[in-house]
Amino acid sequence: MSERPSPLGPDEVTADSPFTLPGFFDALSEGRLLAAACADCGERLVPPRPACYACGSRSLSIEEQPRTGHVVSYTAVHTPPPAFADEAPYTVAVVELDSGARLTGRLDADYEDVAVDDPVALTVREPDEALRERSLSYETEWPLHVFEPR
């Protein structure tokens, strides 16, 4: 599903554009996981960006992505930023979605229970008050994306 052809000019990438983090999180809060798809090299960028980091092209379109994939890499965070100190240790994973795009996020599993190639599914959670208090002012309404084992 392509929503917007490119190349994009500077006037076309506004704060609510899906090629920006606010636009990405707005779509995510509506239940849509978006990627920018490069017309020149086929790379998928999640979150979307206005230029391809693989080839530099600005010929991009927006595509909805599947919420399922598998773990490519993972780690346990033992020394998080101070705002998240009470949540450590927690697991973070790089997930390759079934489309081939990759997204990093929290994995709702203990580090010891995770392995490369484990199947996972993305869930979207509304931020709770504690998370809103730790967020930057422009992030307070952004949903939290978390991968869960399937």
Ranking 57-61, 66-70, 71-75 by mean pLDDT, the lowest is 57-61
3-state secondary structure 61-79: EEEECCCEEEEEEEEEECC
- Averaged pLDDT, 20-35: 93
Helix (H, G, I), strand (E, B) or coil at 82: helix
DSSP string, 10-54: GGG--TTSTTSHHHHHHHHHTT--EEEEETTT--EESS--SS-TT
Tokens of 73: 């890499």
pTM of the complete model beyond 0.85: yes
Residues near 83 by beta carbon (within 8 Å), at least 6 away in sequence: 134
Average pLDDT over residues 102-124: 97
